[in-house]
Each structure stands twice: as structure tokens, then as C-alpha cells.
Amino acid sequence: MVKIYGIKNCDTMKKAFAWCAANSISYEFHDYKKLGAPREKLVLWCRTLGWQTLINNKGTTWRKLTPEQQAITTQGQAVALMLENPSVIRRPLVENDAGQLLVGFDPTLFDSFVR
């Protein structure tokens, strides 16, 4: 089973959920809005993927941040920003049983990743 991290009402998340349903893929969902972003996971993901991969700098939440908040130069600053504003984390973030990570939704990549 895979674990999907994100925000329930996000359009990209809805596409990922629909794809999983259409392909009979079981998943566990971690909603950042209800459960928060787990700090230990953010640190691990930053080490694995790089914090630049995790930050969605094209979204509404990013655009609402001050220039000072957007001036991230370190992993520590990125983790702090993602803890304070989980909507800035790219979605979905998918973790499979092997601990591998996939960021974003692409049906072809999803298919090879979750099966």
C-alpha cells in the first residue's frame, strides 16, 4: 500500500485519488490540513529529494508569502516554512512500501510507481 500526502481539496490530489480509484490502488491518505506536515518526514524528504523539489513556488500559497519568507536558502528554512505553511508543499507526495518517493501527479509515473 502507498501513502499519499497532501491536501484533500487540491485539484491535483483529486486527480491522483481518481486515478487510484480507477486502477484499484489502495492507499493511506495523510491530510496536511488536518494532521499537519510531519517534521521528521519533511527532513527526510528534503535529504532525499532536496528541499527545492518539495517547495511549490508556483502556487497561491507561495505568492501570498512575503519576499522574506520566500528567501529560502537552507534546508532548515525550508522545513520551517513547510511546517508553518503546509500548502506550500508540492502535491501529491507519494511514498511506496520500499520508502521511495514520488512528487506530483503524472499518470504514467504513478502507474509504474504504485504497482
Q: What's the domain count of the chain?
A: 1
Helix (H, G, I), strand (E, B) or coil at 15: helix
Catalytic residue among 4, 10, 13, 79: 10
Per the annotation, the verdict on 46 as an active-site residue is no
The CATH code of the domain that includes 49 is: 3.40.30.10
H or E element at residue 97? none
Q: Is the pTM higher than 0.75?
A: yes
Per-residue pLDDT of the chain (115 residues; tens, 9 = 90+): 899 999 999 999 999 999 999 999 999 999 999 999 999 999 999 999 999 999 999 999 999 999 999 999 999 999 999 999 999 999 999 999 899 999 999 999 999 998 8
In the chain, beta strands by DSSP E: 2-6, 27-31, 93-95, 101-103
The position carrying cell 490540513 is: 33
Whether the CB-CB separation of 87 and 58 falls below 8 Å is answered with no
Q: The C-alpha cell of 40 is what?
A: 521528521
CB atoms under 10 Å from CB of 3, counted, come to 15
